[in-house]
Structure 1
């Protein structure tokens, strides 16, 4: 007979170890911290070894706990994958994406994926920050990173996450044709210092980065207007409120319709690239393979479409 630990305690241990906190694990699992502590003690009793160092300010995984966590996460991921394959409901791909990419690049393209794979459901969550290597509750993550374009393991969970470049991004100042006509064509980037500038609060260094690549000092951005969503920045620019740093892959529609136009024929390569991160636990599933193949092809096609994003206004 197999001498197994209480299987429910593994889920409690994984959450507590991932958060390094019984309280945060309890909040995630919707139980009390005491319930988490009890399950952990039960597991440690079964193993006849402690997994955490208890301290006055909380808990921390010890050496044995870190090794055990790696194995438990792999087992739970395998069980999840097996269960998903045997469930009767439609196959599902869990995706986390940067807000701007989800709203302006991915979602408008999803109808073609749905048409090609009508039996695959999509579960999409947005996140403005980069990928969290500690999370295990996703299949694919679309995020910006500054790493190389070759497929590579992601730091800290080398055996579980793989990163592949979707597309490289450019930065180019854009504004509405009406604003450009009113202000007049500029002779140099320095003349933008007197313009009303717009920026995304999550990409607040884009203007500085672009000006630096032009060999110019960054203007005083204290008078610039910031927005939490990139879609708000772009809508404000379309409405003539000011000039924004455009990312051509995300504003292809506005450039094509000429509701936004480049202010200069100067662009700068963005400091990061948009990447697809997949988990080893889900990568073998047919639905994830289908999404990966589709999204990489979409990115390749889109990159060709906006290969020459800078177009001056007649």
Structure 2
């Protein structure tokens, strides 16, 4: 901390640089104009540089002051953002989910939640990375796996793993009349990061005869590719239920079960209730299978 400039001076400089007026900066900070001017002078003395040209009708940043102000403003903005992320707000709930879960299940179901609970500000952090309840400030997380997830976390299962093969009806028409094993063998496969095709085909004793393979980083992209007729994708049933109901995808099956990677909602063990988090958790459980 000894290497940092005086923080009151930085704050006065940041506001004064935006407003280009000690009087306006004083109004924003709720202090006197003299106090703002003094803090800026102390900062200039610490740096050994002039940050402002004092003009008859206000201030003008010097060239070095302009460069310094840009970086100081960015630092203050980062501090504000970090504080906003972890500062408790009644009714705010931050949920961490994978991009596939967000796009294929959570976002389509959000209108129902918003209608039932308009008082809750549900925010979504969509990432493939494991989120930290502490450093990321999240309240809930939905992840695929198997417990235990850690002594500090409570886990409730939302959806069982129920993998199905989905394909566009137009593409399925090309192999109409063939047995399912022949359909699976001939149609092109769409792979995602889970790479379940070798396991599924091996369990069915089916040889992959297709020459085209598409590899994508997310299951959501694989589903979208299947809708556009680029091949068969493997996906959990609940993530493709809307597309199947709408006739955009058809199911090929049945497939052998893939067990051990159900979908769980994770919460921190806490001493007391949190009404907003508990409301979101109750709603999620009401939608589970």
**TM-score normalised by structure 2 residue count:** 0.63
CA distance in 2: counterparts of 1:133 and 1:222, whole angstroms? 44
Helix, strand or coil for the counterpart of 2:159? strand
* Matching residue of 1:61: none
Which of the numbers 199, 205, 212 marks the counterpart of 1:209? 199
CA distance in 1: counterparts of 2:240 and 2:108, whole angstroms? 12
Cα 1:198–1:166 shift into 2, 3 Å? same
Which of the numbers 258, 274, 287 marks the counterpart of 2:247? 258
CA distance in 1: counterparts of 2:170 and 2:227, whole angstroms? 9
The superposition leaves residues 186-242 of structure 1 with CA deviations (integer Å, 9 ceiling, x where unpaired) of: 325365233211122x222x212322433x266489941012232221121111111
Counting matched residue pairs gives: 205
Helix, strand or coil for the counterpart of 1:289? helix
Cα 1:266–1:257 shift into 2, 3 Å? same
Counterpart check, 1:117 vs 2:117: yes
Give, in angstroms, the shift of residue 135 of structure 1.
5.3
Residue segments in structure 1 that go unaligned for 5+ positions in a row: 1-79, 148-152, 304-314
CA distance in 1: counterparts of 2:272 and 2:171, whole angstroms? 47
Give, in angstroms, the shift of residue 118 of structure 1.
1.2
Helix, strand or coil for the counterpart of 1:250? helix
* Matching residue of 1:276: 265
CA distance in 1: counterparts of 2:271 and 2:111, whole angstroms? 23
Greater C-alpha radius of gyration: 2
Are the counterparts in 2 of residues 138 and 279 from structure 1 also a CA contact under 8 Å? Answer: no
The superposition leaves residues 67-99 of structure 1 with CA deviations (integer Å, 9 ceiling, x where unpaired) of: xxxxxxxxxxxxx99x62xxxx54211110011
Which of the numbers 186, 191, 213 marks the counterpart of 1:224? 213
Counterpart check, 1:249 vs 2:235: no
CA distance in 2: counterparts of 1:174 and 1:141, whole angstroms? 27
Residue segments in structure 2 that go unaligned for 5+ positions in a row: 1-84
Which 4+ residue blocks in structure 1 deviate beyond 3 angstroms? Answer: 129-136, 217-223
* Matching residue of 1:102: 102
Are the counterparts in 2 of residues 172 and 268 from structure 1 also a CA contact under 8 Å? Answer: no
The superposition leaves residues 22-55 of structure 1 with CA deviations (integer Å, 9 ceiling, x where unpaired) of: xxxxxxxxxxxxxxxxxxxxxxxxxxxxxxxxxx
Give, in angstroms, the shift of residue 146 of structure 1.
2.7
Helix, strand or coil for the counterpart of 1:169? coil
Are the counterparts in 1 of residues 144 and 261 from structure 2 also a CA contact under 8 Å? Answer: yes
